[in-house]
Amino acid sequence: MRHTISVLVENKFGVLARIAGLFSARGYNIDSLTVGETEDMTVSRMTIVVRGDDKTLDQVKKQLNKLIDVITVSDLRKKDYIDRELILLKACFNEKEKPKVAGIIKKAGAQILHTTTKSFLVQFTGPQEKITALLEQLAPYGIKELTRTGKAAITKD
Residue ending a domain, among 78, 103, 137, is 78
Give the predicted TM-score (pTM) of the model: 0.83
Residue 154, judged by CB atoms within 10 A of its CB (0-12, 13-18, 19+), counts as middle
One domain for residues 68 and 95: no
Are 10 and 64 members of one domain?
Answer: yes
For the cut 90, the answer to whether the pLDDT of residue 101 exceeds it is yes
Tell whether the model's pLDDT for residue 27 goes beyond 90: no
Q: Burial-class residue 134 by CB neighbours within 10 Å (0-12, 13-18, 19+).
A: buried
Which of residues 15 and 28 earns the better pLDDT score?
15
**Looking at residues 123-138, what average pLDDT do you find?**
96
Mean pLDDT of 60-71: 93
pLDDT in tens, 68-87: 999 999 999 888 999 999 99
Q: Among 56, 78, 100, which residue terminates a domain?
A: 78
Let me know whether 93 and 150 are in one domain: yes
CATH of the domain at 91: 3.30.70.1150
